[in-house]
A and B are shown apart, each in its own frame.
Chain A
Amino acid sequence: MAKMQLLNSSKPISNFKIRGQVLLFLLPAFTAIIFVMAYPMIKGLDISFTNRLLTYDKYSYIGFQNFLAMFSDNFFWYSLVNSIKLTFWAAAGTLLLGFALAVLLNHQFVFRDFFRGALFIPWVMPSMVTALMFRWLYNDFYGYFNYMLTKYHLIAQPVNLLADPRLAWAGVLLPIIWCNYPFVMLVFLAALQSIDKSLYEAAHIDGANRLQAFWFVTLPGLIPAFVIVIILEIIWTFASFDLVFLLTRGGPADSTLTLSLYIYKQAFEAKLLGYASALGAALFLILFFVTMMYFSFVRRTGFYEK
């Protein structure tokens, strides 16, 4: 009887026996996620209402004082604007580069897999190594970057890119784009390959040239990929920490201080754990909003199954 049911249903049926099994299968993952994510999240929110210090165990609840202090904290607004600026330029650069590479790769040729693999490498590079390589490139005495620029007379004097408050932005932006473009490239490549080939034939029959086909067939087909990539890039870059911290530590003169670096500094340098948690809550709210946008977009276009 049970066998019959199994045969007839497309998926195994649910009954109380299976329910026990489900629990057994999901429990380890659940425990782990609750223990290392859900509980810390709640704890973080809890701390944001206290005046807790990093090095002192006694603390008391102070209501919304941290959040009120945040609104009148110039550094909060300053680092928030910095984060937005960085996210904008990083997303723009990553999208452009990733898209260009995807278009170039979207044709059958001999070395295609080689190029795709080679171009993907920056994505798997450890952030520590990326930071070190770029610092070496930027080095003002022996680095390649300055050597090239002075050799071709693009600049007269070597610049210390990461030590100049006006230029440090560019110095941070380059490696961020460098390690983010591969993901964008892959998503666009997958999206390009999923465009129905018959649409191009139809466009050709209708007398469209290559540029028109690109404009009227390729681009519209890529819109979902565009939106998804933009939102994911915003989420990832906005809260990114490693590269900026390793390259400039927010300096020089706080010129590259982003919100996540400000949180880190408040917690581990100023030791104001309560206030840092309140800043974290603000960051979370912003990202939550963006993530909800992502989900609503995905639901509307039916990008995910079921």
Chain B
Amino acid sequence: MKSNSGFWNKAIRLVLLMILTYVLLFPMTVALFTSLKPPGEVITATPSLLPHDFTLQNYRVLFSLREFPRYLLNSFLVSCYTALISILVSSLAAYALVWMNFTGKRTIVKAIFFTYMFPQILLVLPLFLMCYELNLIDTKMALVLTYLSFSLPFCVWMLKSFFESIPEELVEAAMLDGCTYLQCLFKVVLPVSIPAVTAVLVFSFVLGWSEYLFANTLIISDTNRTIAIGLQTLIGYYRVDYGLLTAASIVMTLPVLLFFVTVQKYFIQGLVVGSVKE
């Protein structure tokens, strides 16, 4: 009897979860299928979820637009630089915070967490002015620099919690063998931290890829636009063409999802450890 009630319990749970997942992922489902519909099926008062004729027409049009591949490339470059600089700088800092003793360590850890919670809107005005004074307005460099302010705190935080789980003996053994701190970091610590390193890389890449506010204020010319702003530009140009717009959204989301699926486990772990430490 007990196992029977357990079965029903599980079944109800599963059905509820399925309904909720369906409802919550519905906006994405609609966007995906809209992008696969021919124009006539997009603009109809009685939309069907699944397209009657699957077509890649929207995607073909999208990539034939002169500016779209440019937006993608810009975003890719900005995101890659952000990710690479983030991992370099944050792994050094996290290493020092975990394996070196010095005064003021607690304050630094706290300050890092404080900056992690810092809202973008507060930084956008002074950073805009700074970039203006340094002649960086409308450059990709300005974007990479500003993105560091959001990626670094999180990356240090995440790497720090991962490094703490590495057995001390490993690091000590390397030090006894005559490794310098730097060698120890690159030859011992980073190779055993591949999951955390990937998660940090992905996090900062995705941050650069999807950021909107700074890309919107710091970039002026069309040639330097990232995909987030590019999408907005497309809304302006092709106002009613939701087939094209959803196709662009899918293209923009694809790398994010792909990355996310590969590092999901570590990413989720790191996120939770970062905010609820038991």
Secondary structure class of chain B's binding surface, majority of residues: helix
Secondary structure class of chain A's binding surface, majority of residues: helix
B100 touches A142 (CB 8 A): no
Q: Does B222 contact A (CB under 8 A)?
A: no
Interface residues of B (CB under 8 A from A): 10, 13-14, 16-17, 20-21, 24-28, 30-31, 34, 42-47, 49, 88-90, 92-93, 95-97, 99-102, 106, 108, 110, 112, 114-115, 117-127, 129-130, 145-146, 148-149, 152-153, 156, 168, 172, 175-176, 181, 206, 209-210, 212-213, 217, 228, 231-232, 235, 242, 245-246, 249, 252-253, 256-257, 260-261, 264, 268, 271-272, 275-278
- One digit per residue, 1 when the CB lies within 8 angstroms of any chain B CB and 0 when it does not, for chain A 118-143 equals 11111011111110111011010111
User: Which of A11, A47, A128, A225 has its CB near the most chain B CB atoms (within 10 A)?
Assistant: A128
Which residue of the partner chain, among A36, A100, A194, A303, contacts B127 with CB atoms under 8 Å? A36
CA distance A116 to B20 in the complex (A): 12
A12 touches B175 (CB 8 A): yes
- For A36, list chain B residues within 8 Å (CB): 123, 127, 145-146, 148-149
B10 touches A25 (CB 8 A): no
List 5 A-B residue pairs with CB atoms under 8 Å apart, sorted by A's residue number.
A12-B101, A104-B13, A133-B249, A240-B119, A283-B119
Closest CB-CB distance, B140 to chain A, in whole Å? 15
7 tightest Cβ-Cβ pairs between the two chains A and B? A126-B210, A239-B119, A40-B126, A25-B96, A29-B93, A36-B149, A44-B126
CA distance A178 to B275 in the complex (A): 20
With contacts A6-B172, A44-B126, A136-B34 taken as known, whether A32 is within 8 angstroms of B152 at the C-beta atoms is yes
With contacts A12-B101, A142-B42 taken as known, whether A280 is within 8 angstroms of B122 at the C-beta atoms is yes
Interface residues of A (CB under 8 A from B): 3, 6-7, 10-14, 18-19, 21-22, 24-26, 28-30, 32-33, 35-37, 39-41, 43-44, 47, 100-101, 104-105, 107, 109, 111, 115-122, 124-130, 132-134, 136-137, 139, 141-144, 147, 178, 181, 183, 186-187, 189-191, 194, 224-225, 228, 232, 235-236, 238-242, 245-246, 260, 263-264, 267-268, 273, 276-277, 280, 283-284, 287, 291, 295, 303-306
With contacts A47-B125, A121-B257, A225-B276 taken as known, whether A3 is within 8 angstroms of B92 at the C-beta atoms is no
B129 touches A273 (CB 8 A): yes
B92 touches A26 (CB 8 A): yes
A303 touches B253 (CB 8 A): no
B217 touches A132 (CB 8 A): no
With contacts A29-B156, A37-B118 taken as known, whether A126 is within 8 angstroms of B31 at the C-beta atoms is no
